[in-house]
Amino acid sequence: MKTRAILSVLLMTLMLVGSAASQSATEPAKTQQAPPAEQVPPVGHAPRMLIVVAHPDDESCFAATVYQVTHDLGGTVEQLVITNGEGGYRYSLLAESYYGVKLTDEAVGRAELPDIRKQELLNSGRIMGVSRHYFLDEPDKQYTQDVDEVLTQHWNDGAVEPTVLHRLENGHYDFVLALFPTPDTHGAHKAATLTAISAVQKMKAEHPVVLGCQDSSSQQQTQPDWTGYKSPAHPFTVGTGRYTVDRTTKFGFRNALDYSIIVNWVIAEHKSQGLFQMGMGKFDRENFAVLESGAKDAEGKTSQLFRLLAEHLPK
């Protein structure tokens, strides 16, 4: 019994030491590895992807696509999240009883939500098969549509892009997934995507293809507008191809299953964000366009990716 107690103390000490990663000027503040998902043999080319988003729960835009990449193609997906989403405290009323904390009190919510939302993201990532998460811990101050306000006043000015660039240079990714920067979206969403595009353009290694995502509903006549946010300070162009993952594609026993089940699992993990859950459940299409960033044969690589996704469904 005494030996077992000593071993337990040593094991706990090693766990604490291993989790205390030091921050450098070029690496994200914290790196966390999700519990291992089931390993699937690669089918053809197993792509490597990096998600770059502003908040926990932004990854839901491509939840079905990421699940397919990791589970059906045997690919690798990692995720870089710039803020901890503490600005979402106003939507946390229903989660207060679940977490036992007065999250809608701004001071309490901003103090407690970073850890809560990180854990929600790790739970979501495990479902999708995300193998590693990088947290930059930038402030999530307030809602705005102004990209430059986010880049210069909310986040540490000039610190985010070098960190994203360092991750890209070391990750050897084929694709970067981000939210498509529309004029009326959250300034932090636009800032995250524009930062990813700029970082890819500065890479010395071969550039990954940057894909912008918009969700849509097949029940609505209005389809995604790919005009994009226009700014002389942050120019980018949109490729001509349009690529879609249908969350309602049927498979499994008697074709009773589809990827909307995975999306619902992902949404359910983000319990602190009630309004988010109301909106996300309405969409059944994940739509993508290439955001030009200097990648070679970007449309060809993207066409091949979505062809593979369409050809390899679960049995």
Kindly state whether residue 119 falls inside one of the protein's structural domains. yes
Range of the domain at 75: 24-311
Residue 259: name the closest of 119, 76, 42, 70 by CA: 70
Kindly state whether residue 19 falls inside one of the protein's structural domains. no
Q: What 3-state DSSP class applies to 167?
A: helix
User: Over the stretch 97-131, which tens digit does the pLDDT of each residue have?
Assistant: 999 999 999 999 999 999 999 999 999 999 999 99
- Please give the tally of structural domains in the chain: 1
pLDDT confidence tier of residue 37, bands split at 50, 70 and 90: very low
Contact indicator for 167, 200 with CB cutoff of 8 Å? no
Higher pLDDT, 3 or 128: 128
Predicted local distance difference test score (pLDDT) of residue 7? 37
Kindly state whether residue 281 falls inside one of the protein's structural domains. yes
Residue listed under structure tokens 């803020």: 83
* pLDDT for 308 beyond 70: yes
Kindly state whether residue 13 falls inside one of the protein's structural domains. no
Instruction: Say which CATH number the domain at 173 has.
Output: 3.40.50.10320
Kindly state whether residue 293 falls inside one of the protein's structural domains. yes
Kindly state whether residue 88 falls inside one of the protein's structural domains. yes
Note every long-range contact of 214-218, with CB atoms under 8 Å and residues 24 or more positions apart, other chains counting. 214/61, 214/179, 214/180, 214/182, 214/287, 215/61, 215/280, 215/283, 215/285, 215/286, 215/287, 216/283, 216/284, 216/285, 216/287, 217/282, 217/283, 217/284, 217/285, 218/248, 218/284, 218/285
Lowest average pLDDT, out of 44-48, 143-147, 276-280, goes to 276-280
Predicted local distance difference test score (pLDDT) of residue 10? 38
Kindly state whether residue 14 falls inside one of the protein's structural domains. no
Kindly state whether residue 238 falls inside one of the protein's structural domains. yes
| Model confidence, pTM | 0.86
Residue 64: name the closest of 257, 289, 284 by CA: 284
